Structure 1
Amino acid sequence: MRADARKNRDHVLAVAGTAITEQGIDVSMRDIARRADVGLATLLRHFPTREALLEALLRTNFDELTAQAAELAETSAPPEEALVSWVRDCVAWTTEYRGVTVLMAAAIADTESALHASCVTLRAAGARLLTRAQAAGTARSDLDGDDLFALVAMLAWLGDQPALAPRADHLFDIVANAILTDTGSGEGGRSRTP
């Protein structure tokens, strides 16, 4: 891709990110083109569908969260702390782009979705952290990567709801404590959120 075309594409992505943060994923492609000061045909040449635009916009974040999970798995941090830290960051990022959780949840099951591969990779990264915590006996054994991905989507959805957003942190702590086991009590109770 030529340097000027790359610059134009990057500008469109930056504008799209701002528009989606402000208005959600339903912002029109025409509005994004207008804000980016390009023609709709130019936008569609770079991104023929809304999903293609979102995939390009979100790919960097998906890659960063996947890399973060790998780094956390290799640290000396306790597995339960690594898991909760990653889930918290994943929820925070997902909440940044209003409405993206709906697309991510649908993309997991839709192999034709432009977001499918990125979502599957992200789910696998979280599953590895979960498995590590389970092996250490600090996470429930009846959860899998699909459950964890669904919990991230659920918690991010809460952050998207203006009436529920003030409760999001409190509810995150409750869900995190439900994922973890309390190895110190011997009673199978929940531990504190790291």
Structure 2
Amino acid sequence: QFLYFIGSFSSSAMRAATLIACAALIAAAAAAGISQQVVGKAAGALGHHHHHECLHACKKFDEKKIPGCDLKGDGCKCIFHHKYRVSFTDRSTGVGYRSGWTSKNKAGEEAIYGLFQKDRGCNCHSNNSMPLGQCHMSFKACFFFQSVADVSASKTAFQVYGQLTSPKESPTYTAIAANSSAITTAAAHVIEQIVAFDPACAPTAEQAADLASFALRRA
């Protein structure tokens, strides 16, 4: 169950990475698309705002192409300058991030990068009752991007979390995986910390063999 969870999450998250990069471009395109509508229309029709010397208009939109996520988007464009700003908010957590004023492509990528640096909501999968030795643990894996450039490159990183839930509660342990191939190693590092906290949680021979076999298949 534990290894199936890791494998299915990592493969689906990698597929999601390409869609996330596309979503960033779609967000910027939404901002660009309203620029032609704005000129000549009454103030307030699409929401005119001033930002220093930048008269801009914004358009709200929904982004649901990222698997598991329902994001609220807002794309803005300076009417007389080639500057864009994009924000995304995860409806499941209320966490959001807004890019600075920048190029069309970078605005969307920066918003996606910033959101998943902060958010641990729709970009995560979790299981609250996984057997580990004589214990049970909760496990969560979240995808994110380590840089703005990684968004356009669809290069996903992962953060894994583990906490012993019974027979007693442990601190939450975490590890970073730079890519999907490293998730098994990161998960093993978290398990090692849990076992150090309570040796009774050491994986059974069957669990240990499954973990080793899974790691070899992904090598």
Pair in the same fold by TM > 0.5:
no
Higher strand content, 1 or 2: 2
Given the two structures, how large is their TM-score scaled by the length of structure 1? 0.34
Q: Which has the higher contact order (CA 8 A, sep 6+)?
A: 1
Higher helix content, 1 or 2: 1
Q: Radius of gyration: which is bigger?
A: 2
Given the two structures, how large is their TM-score scaled by the length of structure 2? 0.31
